[in-house]
Amino acid sequence: MTSQSRSMPSGASEASVTGEPAGAAIDLYWLPLGAGGHFVRLNGRIYEAIRAFLERRRAFDLYHSALQVRVPEGRYVIEMAWPIPDSDGAYRGVVVEGPVGSHRMERFRPFRYEVRRWQDGVIPDILEAVASPQRLSSDPDRARSVLDLVGSVPALVWGRDELGVGDMWNSNSVVSWLLARSGLPIEEIQPPVGGRAPGWEVGILTARHQTDSRLPVVHGRHASL
């Protein structure tokens, strides 16, 4: 299997599926939660089974999202990652770090996540991506806008519902926040059929609140700190 989609997703251009070169692009990848790691995948299934039981619905496949943004100057991977593998964040293009679980423990690296804007970077387990890549835009200005916004991602606590919206801040929140703030039609972007992306709505709501100036921006730690 390649990084191309198993089937052409809604809204994807022919160029995104055929791999034809383009001067600029924003591509969204949907990766099964825990791809390549049985422990994370098992925990995700247990979490979804509990949520489905409480909400009286069927269980869905869970997905983690990542972006690949190409501009004439280069290609970048944008993704939240945890745990942080080492302290060499500059190599991975880390621009924001935030706490995992609690602010009290964030001074310790195992309890922080990182948000990457990684030039020529890689998306782990990209070969397992489903209905991907989904081409969201080929506009160079829009692509640069997404890249510029990465350093302003709010460093909310991973795994917590700090905004009281019924879902937790996570990697999907970062991606949806970026897409919403950049002005892309976020309501038209959906995970693969039969799946859901926990945290996606949290990112959208956070972006809208900040746009309306009702929610203060929470700045994270920079890679140099």
Tens-digit pLDDT profile for residues 35-66: 544 434 545 565 655 665 566 767 678 899 99
For the chain, give the mean pLDDT. Answer: 80
Residue 179: closest CA among 214, 116, 136: 136
- The whole model's pTM is what? 0.78
* CB-CB neighbours of 58 under 10 Å: 8
The more confidently predicted of residues 142 and 83 is: 142
Helices (H) and strands (E) in the chain, counts: 5, 7
Q: Where are the domains of the chain?
A: 14-211
Q: Render pLDDT for 69-106 as a digit per residue (tens, 0 to 9).
A: 999 999 999 999 988 889 899 999 999 999 999 888 88
Which amino acid belongs to residue 112?
R
Please say whether the beta carbons of 36 and 71 come within 8 A: no
Q: For the residues 24-35, what does the mean pLDDT come to? A: 88
**Rounded CA gap, 137 and 80, in Å?**
21
> Looking up tokens 């251009």, which residue turns up?
13
**Rounded CA gap, 22 and 29, in Å?**
17
